[in-house]
Structure 1
Amino acid sequence: MILVDLTIVTVATPTIIGELDASVNQVVWVSSAYMLAYAVPILITGRLGDRFGSKYLYLIGLTVFTLASLWCGLTSTIEMLIVARIVQGLGASMMTPQTLAIITRIFPASDRGKAMAVWGATAGVAMVVGPVLGGVLTDGLGWEWIFFINIPVGILGFVMAWRLVPALETHEHSFDWLGVALSGVGLFLLAFGIQEGHDKHWAGWIIAMIVGGVVVLGLFVLWQARNKREPLVPLTLFRDRNFSVSNVAITVMGGVGASMGYPIMLYAQAVRGDSPTEAALLMVPMAMMSILLARTVGGLTDRLHPRAIMGFGFAASFVGMLSLAIDLDPDTPIWALWISMVIIGVGNAFIWAPTAATATRNLPMQFAGAGSGVYNATRQVGSVIGSAAIAVIMASRLSALIPGASAQGEAGADKIPDPHVAALFSDAMADSLYLPVALFVVGFIAVLFYEAPKHAGFGATQGAPAATVSATD
């Protein structure tokens, strides 16, 4: 449900722009506010799950998320929708760390890859359900129903979690509230400055916000190093190289996930004239490959070197995204776009679940919540920055290629009638996709630094004991 709400809003973007009289930048804030509220508390909610029980934090978060979804659907202004999405993000931040922490605790390291494959396949399902359901609901009932749909799902999820999710042992923790404040202020200043920069013509106060955000985040890291009690982010976690590399990789994927949907959905609806449902179908081949390959990749994750698995994943994703950016023209046949999406989907299947499994294999059980919180927080930091950056890039490319044109007016139209303007709009969206292309390159370089896992069973099929492989890697 959390991941569906990231993708479902993207499809409804042009409709929300038109019905709430909003700008592209404001509608991007509908997702950015959600992701920022999701990212900031996620470090402390993972620790709260360790202290008071993952099951109970999950149930509280699910309740907040479901009620906030009702609020989102009842709003009539873009500003109130953004506020409701902030509350929804707070609910999501309570839920997500608990899912990964529970999997880490109840599955042994040697089998965790298979469990993470199921967890990762859920993301693939959300990538299918989100855009398609968003398109169908927006076309048939209105954009409000992309939020109302969460209510029955939330109620069913609450009943199932109450009955079926185990109540695991808890651990004593102190809470680093100064760390929470520093990380929250730093992320907000950085994200707000980046996203509003183009709209505010990079005024001095915007630059000051960005610089201030970097400084505050630097102070946050310094405080984490000096906090002798229990820091919000135990920096000792990063002594494990695979945990550190996985956090870089998932930050990249968070940025990709938050940035690629907007240009594609705006291109499909404003240039091709697709309905929201038709536009959403562009994403289906990518998501289907993630689902179909989940089981196979899960088995490989427990046996093969993560460098090989994720290296292939990032390389394939790069090829698919680059071909999509090159092919994004008004007359591009649908099958050509689908081929690119299939390649991206294959690559993503070799990234999402293997990265999560590799990140958490070596963590002590008492740090399961903290490690899960850090991992999910870095993903959300990537999402926040990716969302802010894509808003800037789209707005700047539209301004450069269509001088004097209103991004709000162009994107909110059913279809741009002027073929010349449509071609220029298409070029602007294609140029914007070079952001996720570049992010895949960063991810590929990062995963080259993985070392061989140390869990029991690794390397058995290769005829070498795990300890020997690790020592010689």
Structure 2
Amino acid sequence: MDNADMKKKIIIAGLLASFLTPFVRASLNVALPTIAVELNMSAVFLTWLPTLYLLVNAILYIPFGRLGDLYGRKRIFQYGLIIFTISSFFSAFSISGEMLLIIRIFQSIGNAMIFANLYAIITSAFPVNERGGVFGVISIGVFGGLIFGPVLGGLLTELVGWRILFALDSLMGIVAAIVISQFKYEWAEATSEKFDIIGAIILSTSLTTIIYSFSTFDQKYGLFLAIAGIIGLSLFYQVEKRTEFPLIPMELFNNKTFTFGNITGLINYGVFVTLTFLLNLYFQYIKGFDPFTTGLIIALPSLSMIIVSPLAGRLADRIEPTTLTTAGMILTTIGLAIMAVINKNTNLIVEIGSILIFGCGIGLFYSPNTKAVVSSVEKRYFGVANATLSNMRSMGQIFGMGIAMLMISLFIGNVEISPANYIELSQSIRTTLIILSLICSIGIFTSLIKENNQTT
């Protein structure tokens, strides 16, 4: 396989995979109110469907990124796609909320295997002066999935039912698996090293404890769970410093670009996914829109992203990426701040305008941030660096959803959403958006911090 052909196949495989998994998540979000009614889910249980998915991602991103460095990034990527496809198929036959939740765990495992290695493969195959452009192209698949997910999800949920979404996911997964199976190249640049099992167990236990504490914060043991999780993360840090082949090389965090790029990625991507979830609840419950109309509106930020992100990726190959990430954070914060004051009587044009501003900010941030972080480390750490960034984005999503879960739990409680508690639902959404706006404003400043001398 010549170099040009290899690059072409990587881009095709990347586009297919990057479209599939966001499509699943976005289409399911639109269908959540319908699923909640059919499977008799409470408001808190409803938040667990996306939150548990994100939690499993956060737990497994770094281990699978490390396994990719050790045993082959394409191999882990391909196995992940197979697991994702099979679990999507079985999701269509769920007969209870608990069954769907369990199958979604396997779906999330496949997603973690895919995205823990996708950008590392690109970073390995493309020189630094081409990566921004390729990341921008791949982002078309991500944001394309986020566009078509809510639109098709809303339409198919109304016309056929939510189960058809998972059947469609599995068909697309089969096509993607066939294409990727034809790709023979492999990367594994840390084959002489070992996998840190102890570190992986401590990290996964700590993250699980912290996230579970969000749904129990109104109970006595919720705070103790959060403290225990934080202590676990401190233990993880101490263990990793003393391990010969750590899950995450702690010296990577001496690099300011890597450290603060990850922190800003956590903030930026966390508010995006949480906002999508909240807008689905807002437009269907508070505004009374049907799933299809809601899907059209939810697709708007992704539409602006798919236009802006490839341009931002190409610009990141010509100018300092942190300049673009800072501009993206400013727009993201402005969009969020506007949405934090909307209510049932707000004009739809104002709501759409704020959503588009927000989407442009995410699109301007995404590709430059990916390039800056992954390109700042040595080649042998490409996999774990990419996985760390994916993990931080997933952690941001978890904490964002955790805040939403906490607010819903405090304002509504563990009951089904009904007209009787729409006022409380609206209050929980607004409070969550205010908190996210404040957090996002901090990201403007963290995005400015970078290392003077970059590793390419």
TM-score by length of 2: 0.91
Query: Distance in 2 between the 1:307 and 1:355 partners?
Result: 7
**Deviation readout 1:36-85 (Å, 9 max, x if unpaired):** 11121221111211222111111111111111112222111111111111
Q: Displacement of 1:280 after TM fit? A: 1.4
How far apart in 1 are the matches of 2:246 and 2:294? 45
Are residue 408 (structure 1) and residue 421 (structure 2) matched? no
Say whether the 8 Å CA contact 1:190–1:213 is kept in structure 2: yes
Q: Distance in 2 between matches of 1:279 and 1:86?
A: 26
Q: 1:368 to 1:455 in 2, by over 3 A?
A: closer
Among 278, 288, 313, the alignment partner of 1:298 is 313
Residue 267 of structure 1: which of 246, 258, 282 is its match? 282
String of CA shifts for 1:343-384, please: whole Å, max 9, x gaps. Answer: 111111111111101001132221111111211111112222
Could you say which residue in structure 1 is the equivalent of 2:109? 90
For 1:272 and 1:240, how far apart are their aligned partners in 2?
46
1:102 is aligned with what amino acid? I
For the Cα contact (< 8 Å) 1:12–1:276, is it kept in 2? Answer: yes
Whole-angstrom distance in 2 between the partners of 1:349 and 1:447: 15
Question: 1:56 and 1:299 mapped to 2: Cα distance?
Answer: 29
Equivalent position to 1:220, from 232, 236, 259: 236
For 2:143 and 2:266, locate their aligned partners in 1 and report how far apart those are by CA, in whole Å.
18
> Which residue of structure 1 lines up, in the alignment, with residue 211 of structure 2?
191
1:115, distance to aligned residue in structure 2 (A): 1.1
- Kindly indicate whether residue 356 of structure 2 is the aligned counterpart of residue 342 of structure 1: yes
Mapped to 2, the partners of 1:256 and 1:144 lie a distance apart of: 28
| Superposed displacement of residue 152, structure 1 | 0.8
Q: Which residue number in structure 2 is paired with residue 390 of structure 1?
A: 404
What is the distance in 2 between the residues matched to 1:56 and 1:424? 48
**Counterpart for residue 135 of structure 2:** 116
9, 12, 20: which one pairs with 2:39?
20
Q: Structure 1: how far apart are the matches of 2:428 and 2:63? A: 39
1:24 maps to amino acid: A
1:431 aligns with 2:431: yes
Q: 1:298-340 CA deviation, whole Å, 9 max, x = no partner?
A: 121122223321111111111111111212x222232221111
CA distance in 2, matches of 1:62, 1:171: 23
Residues 1:42 and 2:58 aligned together: no
Where 2:161 maps in the other structure, the secondary structure is: coil
Question: How do residues 51-66 of structure 1 correspond to structure 2 at under 5 angstroms?
Answer: 51-66=70-85
Deviation at 1:234, TM superposition (A): 0.5
CA gap 1:111/1:162 in 2 versus in 1, 3 angstroms: same
Matched ranges for 1:66-465 at <5 A: 66-164=85-183, 166-172=185-191, 173-197=193-217, 201-203=218-220, 205-227=221-243, 229-327=244-342, 329-398=343-412, 408-410=416-418, 416=419, 425-451=425-451, 454=454
**In the alignment, is the contact (CA less than 8 A) between 1:243 and 1:359 conserved in 2?**
yes
Shift of 1:422: 5.0
1:2 matches 2:21:
yes
1:42 touches 1:373 (CA, 8 Å); kept in 2?
Answer: yes
Question: Which residue pairs with 2:9 in the alignment?
Answer: none
- Give the residue type in structure 2 aligned to 1:429: I
Question: Cα 1:434–1:213, aligned 2, differ >3 Å: closer, same or farther?
Answer: same
Residues 397 and 431 of structure 1 are in contact (CA less than 8 Å); yes or no, is this contact kept in structure 2? no
Does the CA-based 8 Å contact 2:280-2:298 persist in structure 1?
no
Task: Work out the CA distance in 1 between the residues paired with 2:35 and 2:284.
Answer: 13
8 Å Cα contact 2:411-2:424 kept in structure 1: no
Task: Please tell me whether the aligned partners of residues 139 and 310 of structure 2 are also in contact (alpha carbons under 8 angstroms).
Answer: no
Aligned-partner Cα distance in 2 for 1:282–1:216: 40
Contact 2:140/2:309 (<8 A) preserved: yes
Deviates more, 1:119-128 or 1:95-104: 119-128
Counterpart CA distance in 2 for 1:118 and 1:2 is 16
Kept in 2, the 8 Å contact 1:254–1:381? The answer is no
Shift of 1:279: 0.9
Instruction: Give me the whole-angstrom Cα distance separating, in 2, the residues matched to 1:253 and 1:214.
Output: 22
Deviation at 1:138? 1.4
8 Å CA contact 1:135, 1:280 repeated in 2: yes
Match of 1:459 in 2: none
CA distance in 2, matches of 1:224, 1:440: 29
Letter paired with 2:381? F
Cα distance change, pair 453–317 in 1 and its aligned pair in 2 (3 A) = farther
Question: TM-score by structure 1 length?
Answer: 0.88
Instruction: Provide structure 1 residue ranges, at least 5 long, that are not aligned to the other structure.
Output: 400-405, 411-415, 457-473
| Native 8 Å contact 1:245 1:447 kept in 2 | yes
Q: Percent identity?
A: 23
Q: CA deviation at 1:398?
A: 4.1
Question: Against the structure 1 CA distance between its residues 451 and 52, is the aligned structure 2 distance closer, same or farther, given a 3 Å change threshold?
Answer: closer
Please say if residues 322 and 369 of structure 2, whose CA atoms lie closer than 8 Å, have aligned partners that are also in contact. no
Distance 1:180 1:425, change over 3 A: closer
**1:158 is paired with a residue of what secondary structure?**
helix
SS, match of residue 450 in structure 2:
coil
Q: 1:177 & 1:168 partners in 2: Cα distance?
A: 22
Give the partner amino acid of 1:353: S
| In 2, Cα distance between equivalents of 1:448 and 1:388 | 27
Structure 2: which amino acid aligns with 1:16?
I
Equivalent residue pairs, number: 436
Amino acid at match of 2:382: A
Cα–Cα, structure 1 residues 174 and 425, in superposed 2: closer, same or farther, change >3 Å?
A: closer
Are the counterparts in 1 of residues 305 and 362 from structure 2 also a CA contact under 8 Å? yes
**Which 10-residue stretch deviates more, 242-251 or 377-386?**
377-386
Letter aligned with residue 240 of structure 2: Q
Q: Deviations over 1:414-461 (max 9, x none)?
A: xx4x8xx756643442232223212311211211212456478xxxxx
Q: Which moved more, 1:305-314 or 1:175-184?
A: 305-314
